A = this chain, B = another copy of it.
Amino acid sequence: MATAWSRRYAQRTNAVRSSAIRELLKLTQRPEVISFAGGLPAPELFPIERFDEACHTVLKQNGRVALQYGPTEGYVPLRELIVANMRRYGIVADLANVLITCGSQQALDLIGKLLIDGGDRVLVESPTYLGALQAFNVYGAQYVAVALDQDGIRTDRLPQALESSPKFMYILPNFHNPAGVTLCEERREELILIADSYGIPIVEDDPYGQLRYDGDHRSALVVLDRIHRRSDEQFLSGNVIYLSTFSKLLAPGLRLGWVVAPQEVIARLVQLKQGADLHTSTFTQMVAYEVARDGFLDEHVKRLRSAYRERRDTMLAALQELFPPEAAWTRPEGGLFLWVTLPSGMNCEELLKAALRQNVAFVPGGSFYSGAPDGCHMRLNFSHSPPDLIWEGIRRLGAAVKEQLKGLAAITV
């Protein structure tokens, strides 16, 4: 029924489909499934005791504030903590440059709302984060896609792509979701120069930047932009909006992310957030601050790095041993994901069905393209499952891949 409603839906919602990842998360919640599908942190590493103490402290010392309405910009001590945390990575922001959001996903939605008129183009990497496509689609975005390789976005292809005058570029420089690759230093410099000369701003999405397991930290685009402009005094007056989140550093169940941007952009985003949800939960912000303070966040991130490094290494070793030689995969220096490329002709949707029959799950690569996918890919998450389950899951997945390959060879012969 509900026809009174269905003929009233806005045109924009025609572009909206349910997220394959979210729907899969439902399917894979059965306890017997080894899931490499979601981007879930390891739940056994959540600092639950520390959260319990933090809740008690916040409610005892400041309960009347924690449970009341709060400012749209966010809880000041948490924003100050973010400013201090980012400064160590060279990101020089003032309090007025930081807005707390309900996860990075809300930042993407607010940015879409602020910048995208129906039919506007957005330059994205190919593949790119599915949730960003979801957030931008609803505002009627069209896409210009630029391929990635092992060193990140192909900057040599940017000048041609920018001729279509996209409204902005959406870039995941570190431990790319889904591709697992990291933008090399040289291309970062190029990207900043090209963005500036074409006058096209950048939205830099960096949810995993602090989760690096090998190699050296790479400068954030927002930092290189500042250096390029020599604008140490005018903090963040530049060409880049920077996004990050507590979802992977502390806990996604809090729904706490942040935007760093020029003050004028933040003022606009604050207005849009007022209309969207008034503000992010005062309570979760105060609890996150209480958990993170006094150096705890840094210690905790070190523990995460160590655990996730082991899981990544386990998955890489298992792939090497248990996947057929026709498959290739990225070797991420950090983050949560790696990206498997399978021989052309393979069917990833069928592979997922076969995998689910063996109680193992992944996300087929097709979901991560704004246009047509370039071949058959799997996104594999290595943060959620402990090493023994990673090995077992890759064993089952490898068997499913070999099985389909065999069928393919039979047809070819």
Which of chain B's residues has its CB closest to A66's CB? B253
Chain B contacts for A280, CB-based, 8 A: 102, 255
- In the bound assembly, the distance between CA atoms of A43 and B251 in angstroms comes to 28
Stretch at the interface among A111-119, A176-184, A293-301, A334-342: A111-119
Task: Flag whether A142 is at the interface (Cβ < 8 A).
Answer: no
Report yes or no: A237 in contact with B2, Cβ–Cβ below 8 A: yes
Residues of A2-60 at the interface with B, using a CB-CB cut-off of 8 Å, are: 2, 4-6, 8-13, 16-19, 22, 25-26, 38, 40-41, 43-44, 46, 48, 51-52, 55-56, 59-60
Q: Which of B16, B275, B276 contacts A271 (CB 8 A)?
A: B16
Which of A16, A66, A283 has the most B CB atoms < 10 Å from its CB? A283
- In the bound assembly, the distance between CA atoms of A40 and B279 in angstroms comes to 14
Q: Which of B8, B55, B274 contacts A134 (CB 8 A)?
A: B274
Residues of A344-399 at the interface with B, using a CB-CB cut-off of 8 Å, are: none
Report yes or no: B55 in contact with A48, Cβ–Cβ below 8 A: no
Report yes or no: B5 in contact with A264, Cβ–Cβ below 8 A: yes
Chain B contacts for A25, CB-based, 8 A: 69, 71
Chain B contacts for A114, CB-based, 8 A: 9-10, 13
Q: How many residues of A contact B (CB 8 A)?
A: 94
Chain B contacts for A167, CB-based, 8 A: 8
Q: Which of B1, B70, B138, B282 contacts A275 (CB 8 A)?
A: B138
Chain B contacts for A11, CB-based, 8 A: 117
Q: Which of B18, B103, B247, B272 contacts A13 (CB 8 A)?
A: B272
* Binary CB contact string for chain A from 233 to 276 against chain B (1 if under 8 A, 0 otherwise): 01001110000000100111111000001111100101110111
Report yes or no: A239 in contact with B4, Cβ–Cβ below 8 A: yes
Residues of A203-253 at the interface with B, using a CB-CB cut-off of 8 Å, are: 234, 237-239, 247, 250-253
If A8-B167, A22-B278, A278-B22 touch, does A252 touch B106 (CB 8 Å cutoff)? no
If A131-B275, A274-B18, A283-B284 touch, does A251 touch B201 (CB 8 Å cutoff)? no
Report yes or no: B18 in contact with A103, Cβ–Cβ below 8 A: no
Report yes or no: A271 in contact with B17, Cβ–Cβ below 8 A: yes
Which of chain B's residues has its CB closest to A384's CB? B68
Report yes or no: A56 in contact with B55, Cβ–Cβ below 8 A: yes
If A4-B239, A72-B22, A253-B283 touch, does A12 touch B113 (CB 8 Å cutoff)? yes
Chain B contacts for A18, CB-based, 8 A: 270-271, 274
Report yes or no: B201 in contact with A8, Cβ–Cβ below 8 A: yes
Min CB distance A412 to B, Å, is: 40
Report yes or no: A113 in contact with B138, Cβ–Cβ below 8 A: yes
Report yes or no: A51 in contact with B59, Cβ–Cβ below 8 A: yes
Task: Flag whether A175 is at the interface (Cβ < 8 A).
Answer: no
Min CB distance A292 to B, Å, is: 14
Min CB distance A252 to B, Å, is: 5
Chain B contacts for A137, CB-based, 8 A: 275
- In the bound assembly, the distance between CA atoms of A272 and B277 in angstroms comes to 14
Q: Which residues of A line the B interface, CB within 8 A? A: 1-2, 4-6, 8-13, 16-19, 22, 25-26, 38, 40-41, 43-44, 46, 48, 51-52, 55-56, 59-60, 63-72, 101-103, 105-106, 109, 113-117, 120, 131, 134-135, 137-139, 167-168, 199, 201, 234, 237-239, 247, 250-255, 261-265, 268, 270-272, 274-284
18 contacts between A and B (CB under 8 A): A10-B114, A10-B116, A10-B117, A10-B120, A13-B114, A18-B271, A19-B274, A19-B275, A26-B71, A43-B68, A46-B63, A65-B253, A68-B251, A69-B252, A102-B280, A105-B275, A134-B275, A253-B282
Supplied contacts A2-B263, A46-B63, A48-B67, 20 more A-B pairs, CB within 8 Å: A4-B201, A6-B264, A10-B113, A10-B114, A16-B268, A19-B271, A25-B69, A40-B69, A43-B68, A48-B63, A48-B64, A52-B59, A52-B63, A68-B252, A68-B253, A105-B275, A254-B283, A255-B277, A277-B277, A283-B284
